[in-house]
């Protein structure tokens, strides 16, 4: 019987991937919770800001929805207190 030297490498890589997936899943859960607590409460003020711009309930809701989707997409890289050039 011959030993398979790559077997332990595959098992090691597999366990590392599993740990990375678990860490990512945990981070995603934290990210979702932070998004829920930090961004979702802004929906109503955003809607009230969008209404005068669109003058239409459905268009204002669409604008807020598109804004929320973009916020969620970029939330992973958002740094609180970060400064953006004016």
pLDDT tens-digit map of 5-41: 545 434 444 444 454 454 555 578 888 899 999 999 9
Contact 64, 43 (CB under 8 A): yes
Which residue ranges make up each domain of the chain? 14-76
Give kind and range of the element (H or E) at residue 51.
helix 43-54
At the topology level of CATH, where does 14-76 sit?
Answer: Rna Polymerase Sigma Factor; Chain: A (1.10.1740)
pLDDT at 80: 80
pTM for this one? 0.62
Task: Supply φ then ψ for residue 2, to 5 degrees.
Answer: -105, 145
In the chain, % of residues over pLDDT 90: 48
């Amino acid at each position: 019987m011959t030993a398979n030297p790559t077997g332990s490498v595959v098992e090691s890589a597999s366990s590392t991937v599993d740990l990375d997936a678990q860490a990512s899943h945990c981070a995603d859960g934290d990210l979702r919770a932070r998004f829920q607590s930090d961004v979702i409460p802004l929906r109503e003020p955003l809607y009230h800001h969008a209404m005068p711009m669109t003058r239409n309930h459905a268009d204002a809701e669409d604008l807020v929805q598109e804004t929320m989707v973009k916020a969620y997409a970029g939330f992973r890289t958002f740094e609180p207190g970060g400064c953006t050039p004016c």
